[in-house]
Structure formats: structure tokens, C-alpha cells
Chain A
């Protein structure tokens, strides 16, 4: 099986989707001739022509607004927002239009649309290239929110998102594009070709949206994570020696609550980790669900490790980024409670 980076896997997901369905159209800023600033659409314009993969004006509400019109027509647009930090001009189109179209007209028109965007920090991107805005989308009814953590999942989940009959926000942790990252920024980058999840089938396959993955089975504590934080949690488990069960959510909405409940019922302890800011973050929702479903199994208060409630800093990146040490401390804390 070929080895791919997450970028190559995402490119391959586009390629296989465009190959099998001529309704799939891909566009965004720098997406066409150049193939995207992260190269996730490289070669698509050459292969499928400029009417199916093209450059868009720098106008996010225009990119999403036109894509909604295309989806209503019957195409399957998959558009790129260059950084999730730039998605806010399109927020009205996403929240008021894409998310609610099916409901407001009882299915007369629908919106099968994928909006991809790189998220997260760890690349010295400062406040405008590092954000993790997943919670502003999970709060909206009518859209699905997906965040893969490795090449294999990225390809299968993106293929499923393009196939999905409803709008999907597809978030790509940019720090994972070229290799897994556990937060030890002083260490050399590990490339995906040395990781088992860098093995990606060349052909078409899908992974179901709404299904989490247990990345490490364990008995002592459940760690709920997604995106880059999956690897930070793995490092924390290895470094503390605590037998953690690590759940990679993969899809935030719809949420695979069953997998979470089964795990916490077993371990009785729960640490939630995300890179996004804390207040009203997705971790708050996860904690409430665990409390509702697992209260009588809990041996310790639920704890969360998150980015701080500050804009994502530049020079202080590693003071902001949830490190394996911080996650490890939280794990020890719930073990001792």
C-alpha cells in the first residue's frame, strides 16, 4: 500500500471523488493552477480541466455563497478556505444558508457541500493562521463537523464528506499535514511514511462520518481528543505511564457518544483535550455529555486541557499549545482524585 502524507491523502480523496463523479467541483483561493497553498488540490486542474478545479477570488462569502448555489443546482462542490481563520466572512452563508436550507424548505432544495479548511497551530502562524474554530460550527444545527488526525482517515472521511447529502465542515490540522506531532516541537519531524496511518489505499474508500476511533486501548482514564491533540495525548500516556484509553473523535458532529460512554463507564475517569480556546469550547459540551451519561461511573471530576482564552500568540506559541506535560498533569490529577 502506498505511503502518503495527509496532504497527498486529501489530494487523492479529491482525485478519486472527481474521477467517479463529474458533479464534484473544487475551487478556492490558489486552488486551481497552483494546487493550493498547502498543495491539497495539486494536479487536479491539469487532470480535470479548469471548469472543475479553479481559482476563486479572495472572497470567502462568495466562495461559500456560490457553492451553495451550485449545490442547489445539483453539483457537489468541495471548496477550500485557505485558513480556517479566514472563514468568518462566510459565516452567514454557512450558518443561515447552507446549514438551514434543507430544513427551511422541507427538502425542496438541499446543500451537499464540503468546506475544507486547515486548522490549528504549532506552525508559528500567529493569531490569523492558527485558530481552531470547531465550536462555532458544532453549535450550528444542520452542518456536520469533521476533523481527521491522519492520512488514512483524512482520505476516507473526505470522500464520505463529498458523498454526504448535507453540508460538511472539514477541518484539517495543518500541523499534521506532513507528519504526526506530539507537541515536542524541539524534536525532529516524524514523516507520515514512518507511521502506520500513512498507509493509504490509492483507490476510493470512505470512512463513516460520526464514528470515533479508539487509538489506544486502556483501563485507567479516558482521553477524548481530536486532530493534533491525539498525538499529544499519546505522548502524555507514554510519558506518564498511565494506562489511558485515547479516543480520536474524527467527527465532532454527529458525535459518536456510544464510544465515549462505553470507555468512560469502564475507566471512570475522563480528560478532554483540545487546542481551541476553553470557554464555550467543544470540551464543555463533551464534559456535559459525559456527566449526563456517565455520572455514576465517575471516580473523579472531568478535566479539560485546552488552549488558553487568549488570541493564539506568535512568540509564545509553545506556552499556548496544550503540551504533553499539561495533558500528563491533568491525567495524574484525575488519577489521584
Chain B
């Protein structure tokens, strides 16, 4: 007989489930401007605290405060606003298109628009993102044609992927946007490898890997961080913590203590935790990490604290596992509303201009949608040929595929 009491098994659970009243009062939200901005060549062990705080720039009063305040000009700020608004409106339109049966599936960014839109600003032509399915802002912020995105979503004849991938699995080498896989976290070591290649080639380009809170649990994330800490390539390792992996709260991937950012510490990688709903903070932190990469100082791990305000995808119903009001109660607010408040306070934006811009963007999206749908949707118009399915398995089609294509009647 053991003298010890019986063991118990720990399964973390979120505090709130459907029917509960959202309450984030125990979430520690540091004041904007509180976190210090270290030099980019800082010793990682001297900034361990920055992996446990939340770096924030925009105050409640709509002002940019503290050492992370950045130098974006008025035109760039307004452009940033437009990017986020365009992404949100695009999502709304494509969600509706999915509900109308024009495509099979869609994934929106609601509440997370600031992260990919602001991050892209820190990159230069030639740099490479290895995104997940929720970073279309990286394309939008480069004025990637909305019509082309829609053609991909509709899998029509002008889909750059030739109808071979699920909707939103974009790819554009030209825009530094690596082909989205759909297999979670596989892109993380690839981003590190791409950055290793840049360093091996004595190039000046940098890479950015992206992963969600849930997927940080994948072995590939460990692999990526090991390789990043060993070879110190120019890579930014982004973790978008939107609190939910489909129905699973972030505590299942992370456990109930620490932060995702803090995982960089064991590897000697500088780690920052940032308010993902703060356009200015996201940009400032991305810029800091990019500067480190460009100056050959190696990788940086960044956790973006945000909230997935919508469903995981069109196949998901969040009301089944979390309170409906949770998103509204989220203490970091809405990225577009917060940025709007900041721009208005700064005197370069107004409610009227906001409404007017919304209307302009709606027109722009509708025009693109009409053009895309004139080519085809998943169920109508012209799509990629069945014959084309046999192409690109290899550069040169081997005999067995030629034979199968003939057998299929193409």
C-alpha cells in the first residue's frame, strides 16, 4: 500500500462556457506606454519581463504613448486604417458568398485585422511570410488584387492555384506570401529554413513564420524554435494567440501558467508579448523584430494577444462552446474601433470620413466580386479544367500520370 494519496488528473478548462456572463476582470491588462523599448541587440535574458506583459501603445484616451510609439506618417496611418477596413469588409462579403453557396468554405479575421495588416508594414520587398489561414492582411496591405483573392476563393478559371486548394489558401511568391498549407504549423520550420537559406546565401531578406495559439503545441513548432535558436537565422516567429483553437481554449495548448511568448526564453530567443488589437503596437514590435533580423541578430518570438471574435471557419459555431458576449467583453477591444478613435483624436479622421470610406470600400469589393463572379464561382461559370488536375504533380509529367489522364478521358 502506498502512503501517498491517489493521484488526480488535470484537464484545464476555460472559466466561461455558454450561458456564463463574460468577465475578464482577472486578466491583467497593463496600461499603454508602460512597457520599455529595449535596444534591438539587447541580451534576451534582460528582457524576460517583456514576455509576460502586454506591449501597448494606444491609450484609452486614443493617444499613442510610451517608448514603442512609432514614426508612421499621417498618410501611412490612414492607409493602415483602410487596410483593416478593407479586410473586414472583404471578410463580411465572402462569408455571405459562402452562405449563398458560391464557395465551400471561408475563414474570417474578425477582431484580428490589426495583426497581419500592421505586421506587413515592417517587411520589405523580397521578404517572405509563411502564414496560417488567418493572415490575409499581409496581402491586403500590399494592395493585392481583391479580385484575384476572390477567384481563389471561388476556385474559378482564374484562381492562381488552379482550383486545387481550399478557399483562402492563397499563394503569392511575388508578394512574399508562402503557399498556405492547411496542415497546422508545418510552415513554421519552413520559415526558419527559408531564413537559413537567406543567411547561407549572404542575402539581406528576412522571413516571418506564423502560427496560432493552438498549433504551438505541434512538434513542428518545437522543431522550428530549436533550429532558430541553433542557427540564429533572420526570422520572426509569430504566435497569434486569439484564445481559441476551434472549440479548444488556449489553456489546452499552453497549460494554465506562463505565456506563449515565454517559450522563447528556454531557447535564448528574445520574446515579446504585444497587444494584437493595437495597430501601432503591432507595427512597432514587428519593426523591432525585423530590425533584429536585418542586423543579423537572429530570431525574435512575438506573441500577439487578441481574440477571435468570429467562428473558426464557416463550419464552426462558437455559441456551442463559449459565451456569445465574450467577444464584446474582450478587454483589448476592437482593433478598428480603437484605431479609429486614435486617428480622430489625432485630428486626421472623422466619423464622416469613416462612413464614407466604408462605402468606398464596399463599392470596391462589390466591383471585384462582380468581376470574379463573371469568371465563375465554385458552382457556376468557368472553372479550371479537369485535365489540369494532372499538371504540377511533378514538373514533368511521368508516364503513369499521362496514362491516368488518358484513362480519365482528358
Give the B-binding residues of A (Cβ under 8 A). 25, 51-52, 56-57, 59, 61-62, 65-70, 72-75, 77, 89, 92-93, 96-97, 101-110, 141-142, 144, 165-166, 210, 253-255, 257-258
Contact = CB atoms under 8 A, between A and B. Distances in A.
Contact of A65 (B190, B198, B392, B393): B190
Nearest to A75: B197
A106 to B, nearest CB: 4
A72 B161 CA distance: 16
B169 A65 contact: no
Contact of B200 (A52, A62, A96, A166): A52
Interface of B: 128, 130, 160-162, 164-165, 169, 171-173, 178-179, 181, 183, 186, 188-201, 207, 219-220, 222-224, 226-227, 230, 391-396, 398-400
Contact of B172 (A66, A97, A108): A108
Nearest to B199: A51
Given A102-B394, A210-B398, A67 B193 contact: yes
A105 B195 contact: no
A106 B396 CA distance: 13
A62 B201 contact: no
Given A69-B197, A165-B395, A105 B227 contact: no
A325 B89 CA distance: 72
Contact of A74 (B178, B196, B197, B394): B197
A104 B183 CA distance: 12
A97 B186 contact: yes
B179 A108 contact: yes
8 contacts: A59-B226, A66-B190, A69-B190, A73-B193, A92-B183, A104-B179, A106-B164, A108-B161
Contacts of B189: 61-62, 65-66, 68-69, 93
A65 B179 CA distance: 14
Given A69-B191, A75-B197, A93-B189, A104 B169 contact: yes
Contacts of A144: 394
B157 to A, nearest CB: 12
Contacts of A72: 128, 178, 190, 193-194
Contacts of A61: 189, 219-220, 223
A107 B396 CA distance: 12
A103 B395 CA distance: 9
Contact of A97 (B181, B393, B398): B181
B227 A62 contact: yes
B186 A25 contact: no
Contact of B161 (A68, A105, A141, A255): A105
A108 B399 contact: no
Given A65-B223, A142-B393, 13 more contacts: A59-B226, A62-B224, A65-B220, A66-B227, A67-B193, A69-B193, A70-B200, A73-B198, A73-B201, A96-B181, A103-B393, A105-B161, A166-B394
Q: Name the residue in B220, B222, B392, B396 with the highest tally of chain A Cβ atoms < 10 Å from its Cβ.
A: B392
B227 A59 contact: yes
Contacts of A57: 226-227, 230
B159 to A, nearest CB: 8
Given A69-B190, A92-B183, A108-B171, A103 B223 contact: no
Contacts of A52: 200
Given A52-B200, A57-B227, A73 B194 contact: yes
Contacts of A59: 222-223, 226-227
Contacts of A65: 186, 188-190, 192-193, 220, 223-224
Contacts of A109: 171, 173, 178-179
Contacts of B224: 62, 65
B188 to A, nearest CB: 7
B394 A142 contact: yes
A92 B224 CA distance: 14
A192 to B, nearest CB: 31
Top 6 nearest A-B pairs (CB, nearest first) are: A69-B193, A65-B189, A66-B193, A62-B223, A254-B398, A73-B197
A89 B219 CA distance: 9
Q: Name the residue in B173, B230, B391, B394 with the highest tally of chain A Cβ atoms < 10 Å from its Cβ.
A: B394
Given A25-B200, A75-B201, A106-B162, A101 B179 contact: yes
Contacts of A108: 160-161, 171-173, 179
Contacts of A75: 197, 200-201
Contact of B197 (A70, A103, A258): A70
A67 B172 CA distance: 20
Contacts of B171: 104-106, 108-109
Contacts of B195: 69
A105 B193 CA distance: 19
B362 to A, nearest CB: 30
Contacts of A165: 394-396
Contact of B395 (A62, A102, A257): A102
A202 to B, nearest CB: 27
B177 to A, nearest CB: 9
Contacts of A253: 398
B44 to A, nearest CB: 19
B399 A257 contact: yes
A110 B392 CA distance: 10
Contacts of A96: 181, 183, 186
Contact of A70 (B130, B188, B196): B196
B71 to A, nearest CB: 31
B138 to A, nearest CB: 15
A93 B169 contact: no
A108 to B, nearest CB: 5
Contacts of A56: 227
A107 B130 contact: no
Nearest to B394: A166
A23 B138 CA distance: 29
Contacts of A101: 179
A69 B207 contact: yes
A30 B171 CA distance: 35
Q: Name the residue in A52, A69, A108, A254 with the highest tally of chain B Cβ atoms < 10 Å from its Cβ.
A: A69
Contacts of B191: 69
A246 to B, nearest CB: 22
A25 B233 CA distance: 15
A185 to B, nearest CB: 36
A251 to B, nearest CB: 10
A85 to B, nearest CB: 18
A281 B193 CA distance: 33
A253 to B, nearest CB: 8
Nearest to B398: A254
A223 to B, nearest CB: 22
Contacts of A258: 399
A141 B181 contact: no
